[in-house]
Structures are given as C-alpha cells and as structure tokens.
Amino acid sequence: MNQENPRPRSLFEEPAAKASAEQPVVPKHPSLSWKLLPITGVILLVGALLTLKNTGTNPAHVGNPATADAGVQGLPSLLDLGSTTSIPCRMMAPILEELQKEYKGRLNVRVVDVNRDPAAGREYAISVIPTQIFFDASGKELWRHEGFISKQDILAKWTELGFNFEKGASRDEPR
C-alpha cells in the first residue's frame, strides 16, 4: 500500500520530490541569487541615502534666526511659511503686507514660499502651511501657529508675548 505522508507541511517546507527513473531530481543552485545579492545591496543603499538626504532636517538649523532674518535691526520678527497655491496662505498675504507696511521699523515680517524654497520647510520642521513663527529681537522663537490667523489675532499674540508696536513704544524691549 502506497500512502503519502499524513504529516502536514509547513508553509516553508518544499514538497518531497518524487524520484523516478525517467526524471532525475536536480538540486536548485543558489548561484543566481548570490550574483544578485551585491546588486540588490547597492540599490538599497543608494535608495536609503537619497531618502535621508531629501527628508532629513538639520537640528542645528531649526529655529535658526540667521536663516529667518529674525532679529534684523534688533526687531522682533514674524516668519510666515506658506505657498501661493494654498487658499489659507493666499488669504494671509494681504494681512502680512499690511503688517509689513504698518509696522515697518518696529516689526520684521518675512514670507517664504515653501514650494520655491522647500529647504525652509524642513529647516523649521513645519508640517502644515501656513505656519507663522514669532521671534523676539534676539532671534529666539517665542511661539508658532499653524493655519490661517487674523491680523487682530497676530497683534493680540504679540501683546500677550509682551510686545507693543504702537508708535512711540520702545522697539527693543517688550512691555
């Protein structure tokens, strides 16, 4: 009686080869997989290096006032990171222009389009646009906001942080 082995096979176990006189069992040769191993390794290494290069942030530059022009002329600064293609960013544009004009000489306002300068987005580790970052006169980050923010809310936040931008107020020190 010729019965097959009733023991269940694992998923990784090859079925037993049936040897016959007509068809000899030929062992598999690993020579092809060994030839592909170095090529696969090089491809994986290059991919990993490109990924790290394109997605890494440099912690030394996060919040770096030199790159944001924060503290220019000893002024507090508002950095807006956004895009001309984003509706909330386009809504922010006239507000930021008003702030630049109205508070010139008292508040430095800078707008960066992260589509044109993607390094700035990585530099400040933003995940949403628009993002507004508030810096004191020395370039220290004080607060950040994600999304649309009104002119009144921006000015209220500066007041909350201790800054008064009314004419005649001291520009170097918070209230």
Instruction: Judge whether residue 26 has pLDDT over 80.
Output: no
Whose tokens are 């090089």? That residue is 42
Beta strands per DSSP E along the chain: 77-82, 108-113, 131-135, 141-146
Residue-wise pLDDT tens digits, 83-103:
999 999 999 999 999 999 999
Whose tokens are 């993002």? That residue is 131
Q: What is the pLDDT of residue 38?
A: 72
Q: What is the pLDDT of residue 166?
A: 79
Q: Which two tokens stand for residue 70?
A: 């924060």
Residue-wise pLDDT tens digits, 54-86:
433 333 333 444 344 555 568 999 999 999 999
Q: Quick count: other Cβ atoms within 10 Å of Cβ 141?
A: 18
How deeply is 69 buried, as exposed, middle or buried, from its count of CB atoms within 10 A (0-12, 13-18, 19+)? Answer: middle
The SS3 call for residue 87 is: helix
Residue spans per domain, the chain: 65-160
Q: Quick count: other Cβ atoms within 10 Å of Cβ 112?
A: 23
- This prediction has a pTM of 0.58
The SS3 call for residue 46 is: helix
Average pLDDT across the chain, whole number: 76
Q: In CATH, which of 2.160.10.10, 3.40.30.10, 3.40.30.120, 1.20.1440.230 is domain 65-160?
A: 3.40.30.10
Distance (Å, whole) CA 129 – CA 113: 10
